Amino acid sequence: MGLVKNIKEEIRIIRERDPAIHSSMEVFLYPSFRVMLHYRAAHWLYVREHYFLARWVSQRSARKTGIEIHPGATIGKGLFIDHGIGVIIGETTVIGDNVTLYQGVTLGGTGKEHGKRHPTIGNNVMISAGAKVLGSFTIGDNSKIGAGSVVLAEVPPDSTVVGVPGRVVKRSNLTLPQETMNQTDLPDPVKEDIADLQRANTELINRVLELEQEMKRLRQEKNGERQ
């Protein structure tokens, strides 16, 4: 895709997914727009083994935008980084099409791997603010990662993941159109666990009360027989 087509595509993506945009001119001020243009140039240099120049372009972009994308990362069409401050995308990361990342997201490694060290993100995935995806595994298509989650293992397609460490709390999501994504309507597994404990505790208390009543009745019957 040529430079002009790249620019038009980035403008279209940002305008579609960010309701705060009122004109195409505003897009030119967006960190997501600027960092993707720099990434495309840096990646072009990287695959041609101009490693120093590639890193020079990417590091200049990181200083200006607060978003660090290693030039070796492979990124598909339609990536949108909302706000973007603190986003880090590692060298061997692979990102599919129509992915949305929010501020503070890290697609990184664990420090224990060699070769492919970073995650592979499927198509139509949303990763919410502050989430960390660490390691060489796949986040399946149409999945959603909740804000602040730390994902350390494979995520099946059509899943919702929340928590630290992240766990799947919902399966068989519908395809997630980017314009309807949000970071708040997610299950809360801790709240659900607490509710389960409260229900179990209530049942246990009721059972103890029933046993106390039964013991009281038996004592009364025994005393009556003695009299």
Question: Is cis: bond before 31, omega within 30 of 0?
Answer: no
How big is the chain, counted in residues? 227
Amino acid symbol at 125: V
pTM over 0.85: no
Burial class (CB within 10 angstroms; exposed 0-12, middle 13-18, buried 19+) of 21: middle
Count other C-beta atoms under 10 Å from residue 169's C-beta: 16
Q: What is the pLDDT of residue 42?
A: 96
Instruction: Please answer whether residues 94 and 121 qualify as being in contact, where contact means their C-beta atoms are separated by less than 8 angstroms.
Output: yes
Q: What is the pLDDT of residue 175?
A: 46
Q: φ and ψ at 163, to 5 degrees?
A: 105, 175
Q: What is the pLDDT of residue 179?
A: 40
Instruction: Please answer whether residues 152 and 168 qualify as being in contact, where contact means their C-beta atoms are separated by less than 8 angstroms.
Output: no
Q: What is the pLDDT of residue 44?
A: 95
Q: CA 199 from chain center: how many Å?
A: 31
Count other C-beta atoms under 10 Å from residue 189's C-beta: 16
Question: How does pLDDT run along the chain (227 residues), one tens digit per residue?
Answer: 567 777 787 788 887 777 777 777 888 888 888 899 899 999 999 999 999 999 999 999 999 999 999 999 999 988 999 888 999 999 999 999 999 999 999 999 987 777 899 999 999 999 999 999 999 999 999 999 999 999 999 999 999 998 888 888 877 755 444 444 555 556 666 677 787 888 888 889 988 988 888 888 888 877 776 66
